[in-house]
Amino acid sequence: MSRWPDYLAKLTSAEDVLAMLPGDADGLERAEVEKMLFAALASGWLTTFADRDRPDFVPAVGTHFNLVGTNPDFIYAAASIDGSGSYLITGERGECLFLQMDIAAGGLAVMDALGPSLGTIDFDDLALDGAGRFSLMLSAEKPADWQGDWHPLDPTARSLSLRQASYDWGAEREARIAIERTDLTHAPRRWSEAEIAERLMALCAYPKRLAGMAMGFIAGQQQKGLWNAFEHDDWAGRGGVEGQRYYQGLFRLEPDCALVLETDLPETVRYWNVQLNDMRWNTLDWMNHQCSLNGGQASIDADGKFRAVIAMEDPGIANWLDPAGHAQGSIMLRWTGASSGPAPTLSCIAAGDVLEQLGPGTRRVTPEERQQSLRARRRAVQMRRRW
């Protein structure tokens, strides 16, 4: 008997997410939610048949799955594990700013439920050989004959999430990582009919689950009235990077208005960025728009502050945050490994007064220079590992 009608019925339930749109939503907004649902379905396939006995770090969110506030500077990967098992992780650290792995009791994989973080491993704390290679064992107890790095594995662990951060996209040698389960004999197997059906049904439920979570986050921001304002959140136990300070909110551009983002910088900071997302918590198209800036890309003013302008049209300054045609959306700024967490502000000015308001010290760019930088940005994104 075919289960196809059951799969279609489960997929149809994703229409409930459309009901989360405001009553005055137009056709384009509805189409963008429908697009997000298909993106969630496609991204879900990558983890639908994740095997805890034969794990693999698969791509997570990225340029084409730019869901749930994807950070443009990160390359994400995820693997499903069994907390009662033993896992060997080997590879090369690469040249990225940092490489971190979060061990969690759940995750965003199709077969997982959300669960708290059980600890984060910074690969800079591991022993590296002369070529930057590492060997890390995760298990309940350290094997008696194991000489390399070891980290205890909580029995409730269900997922591993990798993040490698880069300022200089496409120019750095990226990390290479493999994972294998060592407490079981390697024995490939064929999925049973019941297993396939269970996992495909979970995949069909995934668009509603993931898109509903994203829409719920934005709805919460709206209920807090965070228009052109920020709140602080550490995202502890909810997928955030350990030791990272987040400032998040919503932006709204009135006609002929630009928003100036201003913030002090910490005295020391390992990594920072700011990015724009749409009203469905999808990161804007950072390959084709300068909708994000990081600590290596940003221009810092002579007084030591970072200032950027959110404007529909190019204001002619280096630190333009392009909203890609969206008059409103969400915004997030991160400080990682910082000596302090300065709070950013947003202020509205007339779009035509940007250059005058920011003063002559602000780094300016010509239309030709902008074209060159955008083309360089496109190339850099494509040079990174995404699949």
Could you read off the pLDDT of 84-141 as tens digits, one per residue? 999 999 999 999 999 999 999 999 999 999 999 999 999 999 999 999 999 999 999 9
Distance CA 157, CA 140 (A): 11
Angle at 33 between CA 32 and CA 39, to 5 degrees: 90
Q: DSSP label at 351?
A: G
Q: What is the pTM of this model?
A: 0.95
Write down the pLDDT at residue 242: 63
Query: What are the b/e assignments for 336-360, b being 16+ CB within 10 Å?
Result: bbbeebbebebeebebeebeeebee
Q: Which long-range contacts does 229-238 make (Cβ < 8 Å, 24+ apart)?
A: 229/346, 230/331, 230/333, 230/343, 230/344, 230/345, 230/346, 232/341, 232/343, 236/117, 237/116, 237/117, 238/114, 238/116, 238/117
Distance CA 3, CA 35 (A): 25
Which segments in the chain show pLDDT lower than 70? 235-243
**Amino acid at residue number 369:** E
Largest interatomic CA distance in the chain: 72
What backbone phi and psi angles, to 5 degrees, belong to 226?
-85, 40
Looking up tokens 């998040």 gives 248
Contact 268, 338 (CB under 8 A): yes
Looking up tokens 């290596």 gives 296
Write down the pLDDT at residue 73: 98
Query: What are the b/e assignments for 145-161, b being 16+ CB within 10 Å?
Result: eeeebebebeeebbbbb
